[in-house]
Amino acid sequence: MPSTIRTTTLPSGEAIQVLGQGTWKMGEDSRRRADEVNALKLGLDLGLTLIDTAEMYASGGAEEVVAQAIAGRRAEVFVVSKVLPSNASRAGVQRACENSLKRLRTDRIDLYLLHWPGSVPLAETVEAFEALRRAGKIRHWGVSNFDTEDMEDLAGLPDGGNVQTNQVLYNLVRRGPEFDLAPWSRKRGIPLMAYSPVEQGALARNTGLDAVAARHNATAAQIALAWVMHQDGIIAIPKASSQEHVRQNFAALDIKLTAGDLADLDRAFPPPTRKRGLEMI
């Protein structure tokens, strides 16, 4: 077990782990609830204290799974949740946050994100986030699925500089953010949170990872995850709904990719040579 889990730093100065636990698609089937809760609990036992969820996931069901997993351990956990763009007005953000707090059975969300850009003026959403922060309902706020132009717009707003992260789709087959979004964010000290870092399991079956995986006695999925975490200022939030999957994700922290490994992965999964629109799934 790694003695410490690597961290990166939010603009606020707070350290945040580079490997978290995602919950997308959790809470959708009551028959899987116990396994999902136990997987998150094992992650906490291993020291993976960042848990990412959203009001959208299973219409709040994922937040209820998280509540069960963190019961009695709230002080250990860094909880990330998200508000839908349709709820991103001043009053809507307030209501949505209160509902998430009730489902999570907590008095605060550590990092609250706008799930993707919507029709509500961004300045209004930022004002609502700042009001929640002053009230102690949230500790930090950020965004998700924002491309570089969106981030520029945000940075130009009053209090827009308080954004702490941008959660985006990023993995070996979705390298578009590397062209301009990742460098823009890195220059400003804003970490990216990579969702679907193993492409919802598809990279676990991609033969382009086999040679590197064999050198490390690892699985293809572990190499894909290690590659994301190797990037400076990137946080990976894979979902694992079984305890064995949690252990495999955790073991990826010990994989140290060499220059030769990285070159092989660049050949198999070429980096972008031009701007691509930000992808979402």
**264-276 burial code (b ≥16 CB/10 A, e <16):** bbeebbeeeeeeb
The pLDDT of residue 226 is 98
Contact status, residue 137 vs residue 108, Cβ threshold 8 Å: yes
The pLDDT of residue 199 is 96
State the helix-helix crossing angle for 220-230 and 243-251, rounded to 10 degrees: 50
Superfamily of domain covering 7-268: NADP-dependent oxidoreductase domain (3.20.20.100)
Q: Where are the domains of the chain?
A: 7-268
Question: Which pLDDT tens digit goes with each residue over 93-114?
Answer: 999 999 999 999 999 999 999 9
Question: Which pLDDT tens digit goes with each residue over 209-263?
Answer: 999 999 999 999 999 999 999 999 999 999 998 999 999 999 999 999 999 999 9
Nearest to 12 by CA among 236, 188, 180: 188
Give the total residue count for the chain: 281
pTM equals: 0.96
Question: Which pLDDT tens digit goes with each residue over 48-91?
Answer: 999 999 999 999 999 999 999 999 999 999 999 999 999 999 99
Gap between the Cα atoms of 91 and 189, Å rounded: 30
Assign 99 to helix, strand or coil.
helix
Specify the residue for token string 């990330």.
80
pLDDT-derived band at 136, boundaries 50, 70, 90: very high
Nearest to 178 by CA among 109, 266, 94: 266
pLDDT at 1 over 60: no
pLDDT-derived band at 169, boundaries 50, 70, 90: very high
How many other β-carbons are positioned within 10 Å of the β-carbon of residue 206? 18
pLDDT-derived band at 154, boundaries 50, 70, 90: very high
The catalytic site residues sit at: 57
The pLDDT of residue 4 is 78
